[in-house]
Structure 1
Amino acid sequence: MNMNNQPEIISYRDLELLREEAIYKEMEESKLHRYWLTIKRQWPIFVMLIPVLVFFLLFRYRPILELIVGFKSYDANVTNNAFESPWIGFYALKELMFGTREYTVLFWRAFRNTFTISMYGLLFGFPIPIILALLFSEIKSDGFRSITQILTYLPKFISTVVITSLLFLMLRPGQADANIQPGIINGMLVWLGVVQPEVNMLGNPAYFRTIFILSDIWEGAGYGSIVYFAAIMAISPTSYEAAKIDGANKLDQIRYVTFPGMAPTLTIMLILRIGNILSVGYEKIILMTENEVHWVLDTADVLSTFILRLGNVYGSNAGLSVPPDLIRAFSTSADLFNSFIAMFLVLGANFISRRVSDTSLF
């Protein structure tokens, strides 16, 4: 009401705004009500979700706070609180990437080895599980297919220590004076004239990457084929029957039916594999190079092993002048650099996939 006790005139635009505001408010209230009803009806599922949320909070998100060590001069022998340590900013990261000391050379060597091993692993290791899944799908006998699948899955469930021990036994060099016979693979390569009997392949930088990648393929190809085999089994048999009627042979069926049917799975798995392109496991490399000479690390040292050795082998035995209060800053900065590169690779691969196809991770 105005001063003359006359009713206020509300424009049509104001009425529309009031109506929209009332509708949005009602929608929000109904949405919250639907959420509450969903939680009330399915409360056992949400209760089961609590341990998962607690796990991620404690072991995935809480450690993010410790990244501050990469920007602090922190020595655990002096103080237990990293937040009270002196702030050094990006000094450790700049020293690792653009410094003039020996650990800068070792950092870029580790980065180069990590990228090289991962790219070769992606190039040769990614198609093998797909080929295995295609071969499994063509086996008509369920019993024989189950046996072959179990045999290919088995190396994945063997300890890394056992896998490495098997590699040492199979690649053992022969010693005529000590009457030591070469390992089965080493003996085969000697018989083919590829290597000399006394050559230690695990101690030779020229062979390390090949051995590591082939052992990784042998260990994980069968287990990795499970996802692709499930995608192939989900394709409707009528699509293959229609292709047969049109005169398609087996290769045409794989090209025009199988691959398009499993394309979403292939895209998602490729994006995830690209995200792990700089995550080469350190366990096997540490075990394979534990008793070898230091120069094997020219092709074997990766970022994860560099971070582990930074305060031990590199900091003491190799004569590198890394101050004790900067070791953790250097290792954290190297790992943080690795994580940022992996994140940008995932974002880039997902963006390209979303632009060229209808499938993306997010």
Structure 2
Amino acid sequence: MRIQIFSTSYIVTDQRLQRIANTLAANGYSVKVFCRKHHSLNYTNNKFTVNYISLFYKKGPLFYFFFNIKILFRALFSRFDIIYSNDLDTLPGCALGSIIRRKKLIYDSHELFTEVPELIGRPLIKFLWGIQEKIFVKRAKAVITVSEGVANELEKRYSLKNVVVIRNVPLRRSTEVFKEKQPTIIYQGALNIGRGIELAIEMMKQLPCYKLLIVGTGDIEIMLRRQMLESNLSDRVQFLGQLAPENLRLITPIAWLGLSIEEDMGLNYRYALPNKLFDYIAANVPVLVSDLPEMRKIVEEYEIGIVAKSRNPVELANQIADLFDDRKRYESLSKNVKKAAEQLNWQNEEPKLLNVINGIIKN
């Protein structure tokens, strides 16, 4: 059984894409991944084939248009049984390819794409993406997403049934790293609007004995670095850039607290279950999350951290300081995180993916 996966992301940093491809290959499927090549990080594996799609355009409408043209071209002139669309920005090409070739389509919606903050104030672009999703999602033999909230929204919008939730949980690995002596807070992920990174830097003014690590790159990185310098925090706020997953796994466990403090900027963030939340858990790091339903549910169910009571930087800093001052409570959260990591891992999640594939094959 031959499966082709298409993604506009970089496989070297897209851990969900890596996990899905590895799981399918390990279970006997012939897997080919088509994606972009990172400008500085390299990815190697011996389980599946990676083909890089290069374009003159690097972003914007023309990038997405020509990327999907290349998807369609690949679909027309290659052999496969299942075509796997890795988010909405590859769905048009994958769906058209599946229709023309009469092959089966899987749609993996990583988020509510039409509700991302980058589309706020851009009604035409939002409308065009929404129309494409509405037209092509019905072609999919299976629809997958990352949280119950997103699944419910997709089912409601497009009259779908049985959207499968496969969370962005990492592989379970042993974690034996000593914490930093200085109380260390970490944010890892894209440096984009609405992620709460500006709030985290502002908060550090109230935490003179603490250090903040920021891992990742994104649209507002220059603005964030300027904020750090203007706040005289260069000695306690460190930008580590984008790291390969194997290097990131060495950094995350040294932190005392992991941040996932997205703003409620629409349904996409409201229903988000970010990769970083589960990466913190895997690294045995308690978390501070926004008071948004999906993240709050995980934190409260497993008792692995605290939910932000406010987006005021002074009040948020006080909440963190109170947690670290209460040593008994922090140790309890740390123990709970270790227990949660035994459940919230890819080894427990991947059977859902295999059930989806097996169901498609049988039907």
| TM-score grouping bracket, smaller chain normalisation | under 0.3
- Say which structure is richer in strand: 2
TM-score (norm 2): 0.23
* Larger RCO, structure (CA 8 Å, separation 6 or more): 1
